[in-house]
A and B are shown apart, each in its own frame.
Chain A
């Protein structure tokens, strides 16, 4: 927390301090409603005009045993009065609803951080569930922190003493009491959450009333009980580009982008998908867009999902599928067919930590090589990557463009960090996107199924068109579309499929160099590391260091112009949440540059400080 000024709020006993930014982490049992609490805090902060970024961190188990460490669910957000790029490295404030939540999150707390604990959940049985031998509130664990002890269980029970709800139902309102408390500390208005509750539980007025009262009781407790030494204010951000904003999560933006992409192509979007964490919300979101003409098929498995999508593209629609790494592995053979028959298809991979089932709710960027190379035979396709919730929309549109203009499957990589993270999104007008309407071939005269345009894309015929009947399949074919085992033809078709994907480079920009166009270190990022890298590089630049960064949206094929950019830097640092997959691709494509791989696979995003230290370390050498 950066202390800016300390003033006295008129009429208030406690000083009101202005802060530039705050990082709060809410942590509790997965049944405690921490995700709702975090989302409400986010929404309210957005409405008061802060910049923000969030990081939900929930367990894979829907309901792990209550009170245990595996059952801890967390939600971190940073809100700020200046432009920020990340949910923050370390929380300034930890709200711990039980001992397990405290134990799991202690390691991330910097000295002096505020720790709000719900003492009502620190009984001996609770400590035992959290595998703690002594009470951290008493054994010195929290020395050096500003500990705020509140028996939230008792306070909520008191506040709702005359509510008709059962004791158990009343305890479910704890998260709103907690939220109210934090709203008081950070001077947030209650109205957005009061309104949200009224809408959310409109069929159950007793729940509306109880939760609203809990929220107000928490807020008032801040006033009455002098729990805190002061209140804080994070003024609205200045200098954000003018426009209309909304708070957006990555998967939401991505789903909208797919609908927009199909509209710009003039095609009906058809999604075939199978639920998988953390991609399921793409399916769920699109399933809610029926009146936008979106068709969703929840298939029997990952393979059927992509096959149904390819079938839809065959029928003249824009086929799409959404999945995560293990699902992408299952879809591999079918994607190979789409490459072979040259049909457009958008494959969304919301990456998660692996291998195998791995850590489904944790983030990683380790499907890059699977996306670029993971198919039998020579089966190239373009791969692009979203970087943040606010660019997922545009990147999804771009995936649709490449798919239809080049008649190819495109893999769109996102990850758990983007998918479930949220940030303000400056809303685009649709007329700022150049349409890319598809024109189907209808004239049988001289038509060849694999005849190509200037880009190398084959012509697309929509079944139902008289006189254009054709057969295609996974067997090698001649330009006519007929099966061919001719050796020269196979070489030529393989070359053509390769060249077509390489031609995508002619339609994409060279990534911008942020910072000096030449220098000591160029930090190359792709995907969700963008915010963290930006912050680290800006810190280094502020210290006068010759450090710049570029960020890749189009991760395969590589855009033109990279070779020239790399040549102007002594070293290219590539931080990525895998074991160095982008570095490996770069080294194979540009073997004469000095790439330094910086891998991290903890399931958690990089910290800005980690990347900054790495930059400094390279500069020292």
Chain B
């Protein structure tokens, strides 16, 4: 137990529990990156809460030496909303997956994003159900053959980035489990954002959906097949950084680097971010990662508590006895 004033290292954020994900699982890299991130920020352990639902990713809180609450399937956003609204001083992280967050918990994820509760949401997307052993998920592509879709999935998938944008989320980003540096800078931006920060993390399930992202963000092809959306910077990609992205009306086009547009996730319209999120559909375009949207708006937990403070300021702190002894009363002698 380190003193509150002492410098905290990555190790200080590790709990004494043995980590029990499959060897090679992308979750290890994410856990490591989060512990590095918290140490970099010297985040106070006692002020930090990790909340999760059910699924492989949702074991996360047990491995953190912070406060943690492993809840029920899909509902972590609702618990997180309660925690953050009850005590806005806590830094709340929510860990979920593509099944937990977008299938059973889709409703709650939508609402925490729309309300803009000041929490950081990590959605581990491996496009498969891991804990229940390999059924297709709401992010699995059409035609995906799994134990529960032997002839291929007939479900049109969610694009988590489009989903979050559709919920009018104020911070929407994507990163990859095999890119530690990118995770760290994404977590930094997410933590710094006031309001709900949505981070999709493409995460490898080595048992049931190994290397599903090999063609897009996999190390061998990443330079050519991935573009990092960096606020205020030109959208360039390619091993030689010679290609760029340009918006031409409703079309997203690959152009020479010199002609690339500058990416601005802070514009009030989410339309450009939507166009970027749709690039996934076109094999001729790189897969975007980075920060899609970053805007300021009303923060739910702040607004709720501000109403209470203002009511107390204008009416005075109410006493229960006065509340009871109010209205039209009469005496019986």
Report the nearest B residue to A467, measured CB to CB: B1
- Asked whether any CB of chain B lies closer than 8 Å to the CB of A219, the reply is no
**B316 & A303 in contact (Cβ 8 Å cutoff):** no
Q: Which residues of A contact B308 (CB under 8 A)?
A: 290-291, 293-295
| Total contacts A-B at CB 8 Å | 216
Report the nearest B residue to A260, measured CB to CB: B320
**Known A43-B328, A291-B312, A469-B46; contact A463-B321, beta-carbon cutoff 8 A:** no
Report the nearest B residue to A317, measured CB to CB: B86
Bound CA–CA A270/B66 (angstroms): 23
Q: Which residues of B contact A334 (CB under 8 A)?
A: 72, 75
- Asked whether any CB of chain A lies closer than 8 Å to the CB of B330, the reply is yes
Q: Which residues of A contact B304 (CB under 8 A)?
A: 295, 297
Q: Which residues of B contact A47 (CB under 8 A)?
A: 328, 330
- Asked whether any CB of chain B lies closer than 8 Å to the CB of A492, the reply is no
CB-contact partner of B86 in A260, A315, A427, under 8 A = A315
- Asked whether any CB of chain A lies closer than 8 Å to the CB of B149, the reply is no
- Asked whether any CB of chain B lies closer than 8 Å to the CB of A8, the reply is no
**A464 & B89 in contact (Cβ 8 Å cutoff):** yes
**A337 & B320 in contact (Cβ 8 Å cutoff):** no
Q: State which of A305-313, A367-375, A411-419 sits at the interface with chain B.
A: A305-313
Q: State which of A158-166, A181-189, A244-252, A571-579 sits at the interface with chain B.
A: A244-252
Bound CA–CA A474/B52 (angstroms): 11
Report the nearest A residue to B47, measured CB to CB: A464
Q: State which of A100-108, A121-129, A235-243 sits at the interface with chain B.
A: A235-243
**Known A292-B320, A430-B320, A473-B62; contact A311-B70, beta-carbon cutoff 8 A:** no
**B311 & A469 in contact (Cβ 8 Å cutoff):** no
**Known A49-B332, A272-B82, A297-B81; contact A333-B72, beta-carbon cutoff 8 A:** yes
Interface size class of A (residues with CB under 8 A): 35 or more
**Known A463-B46, A466-B4, A469-B46; contact A307-B82, beta-carbon cutoff 8 A:** yes
**B17 & A314 in contact (Cβ 8 Å cutoff):** no
- Asked whether any CB of chain B lies closer than 8 Å to the CB of A482, the reply is yes
- Asked whether any CB of chain B lies closer than 8 Å to the CB of A349, the reply is no
- Asked whether any CB of chain B lies closer than 8 Å to the CB of A554, the reply is no
Bound CA–CA A297/B305 (angstroms): 11
- Asked whether any CB of chain A lies closer than 8 Å to the CB of B107, the reply is yes
**A242 & B333 in contact (Cβ 8 Å cutoff):** yes
**A473 & B320 in contact (Cβ 8 Å cutoff):** no
- Asked whether any CB of chain B lies closer than 8 Å to the CB of A263, the reply is yes
Bound CA–CA A303/B87 (angstroms): 21
**Known A270-B82, A295-B86, A304-B75; contact A240-B1, beta-carbon cutoff 8 A:** no
**B307 & A290 in contact (Cβ 8 Å cutoff):** yes
**A464 & B320 in contact (Cβ 8 Å cutoff):** no
CB-contact partner of B78 in A294, A304, A428, under 8 A = A304
Interface residues of A (CB under 8 A from B): 43, 46-47, 49, 192, 240-247, 256, 259-260, 263, 268, 270, 272, 289-295, 297, 299-301, 303-305, 307-312, 314-317, 319, 333-334, 337, 341, 393, 426-430, 444, 463-475, 482-483
Other than the given A243-B332, A300-B78, 10 more pairs (CB < 8 A) read A246-B327, A290-B312, A304-B81, A307-B79, A308-B78, A312-B85, A430-B320, A463-B67, A464-B46, A474-B70
A-B contact pairs, 5 of them (CB 8 A): A246-B329, A247-B327, A315-B82, A334-B72, A463-B87
Interface residues of B (CB under 8 A from A): 1, 4, 15, 17, 44-47, 49-52, 61-62, 64-72, 75, 77-83, 85-87, 89-90, 107-108, 110-111, 304-305, 307-308, 311-312, 314-321, 323-333
- The 10 tightest CB contacts between A and B, nearest first, are A311-B82, A473-B70, A308-B82, A307-B78, A471-B68, A304-B78, A290-B311, A312-B86, A311-B79, A292-B318
